Amino acid sequence: MEKLEKLRVSIDSIDEEILNLLNKRARVVLEVASVKRDTRLGFYSPERERQILERLQGMNPGPFPNDALRVIFREILSASLSLEEPLKVACLGPLATFTHLAALRHFGSSAQFIPVDSIKDVFEGVQEGKEAYGAVPIENSNEGVISYTLDMFMDFDLKIAAEIMLEINHNLLSVSGDIREIKKIYSHPQAIAQCRRWIERNLPHITIIDATSTAKAAELASRDEEGAAIASELAAKIYDLRFVERHIEDNRNNYTRFLVVSKEFPPPTGKDKTSVMLSIKDRPGALYEVLTPFKKAGMNLTKIESRPSKRKAWEYIFFIDMDGHAQDKKVKKALKEIEKDCIFLKVLGSYQCTDRNDVNIQA
């Protein structure tokens, strides 16, 4: 016991040292804020944050794990930025939706998250300068592309600044946490569909009520002692609900990709992805001609989606993701070459590819 007590004293001393260093760092951050204010530089620098995180992970000797290190320093950077100027981020509301959870993971909990009613409202808020960034869902590994988000890039002149990959875990939540007291389940139709087999096995005769989001479902369940919600772990915390059952999704390989939109996109990092939107002339072989320059350049196209333009019958818009940054020579050359075969071509953004190790980090 004496040895254990000595070790605990040692940990207390280290914790106090960490606290002193955090406050020392915060004082330097305030000086940086003063310099930025005097020189009218932007407070938020995602490129600088990326460099800090990558440098620390690269020099970490262990045994402290890198994924946990990234989460901790994401929060330190987020809190530091809030000392300079709170970062406003629009996301599909209410709070505790999966979009909010994705934004929380990317920006840290010290950012100011503004819940809005629709994906269009996210784009409008960023376009009008009410928020610096917005987070929107773009595709799900089971359900496919969210077409409405793609349509918004037609109507707004915003860029993709980042992507976030989030593993979607559904939980059954209620006030009591007792499955025997549940008479109805609230949730978004997509979440209900993704948990159908579990519901049929465990609550086959339950009444299901559609909600506008999983977060709204949690809010409704928090006011209904006979109700339960299919929602996220974050929703359980925010709406003070208990877990009836965790991970009730039928497919455990369920991921959603989110995009961060802003008025500009970041510089190259060396492992980037570029998204473009284009419309081609209606003639035989037109799509082949557009894709040929990418093949010649040895470029990897990771996604091609087509959507009706909604401006002219039978006219289609293509959304293409490719490896590389728009400033890379071969990307720039290929885009210039295909431009002559396009009715229009718009670069939506270049941004760092999501590291697979970041997908499962809990916020």
Catalytic positions, written as ranges: 256, 258
Contact 125, 244 (CB under 8 A): no
Burial 27-52 (b: 16+ CB within 10 A, else e): eebeeebeebeeeeeebbebeebeee
The residues facing 139 across adjacent strands are 145, 257
| 75: phi then psi, degrees, rounded to nearest 5 | -70, -40
Name the amino acid, one letter, at 71: V
How crowded is residue 149: how many other Cβ atoms within 10 Å of its Cβ?
A: 20
Contact 138, 349 (CB under 8 A): no
Rounded CA separation 210/44 (Å): 39
Tokens of 351: 């941004």
Phi-psi region of 129 (alpha: psi -120 to 50; beta: other; left: phi over 0): left
The residues facing 209 across adjacent strands are 186
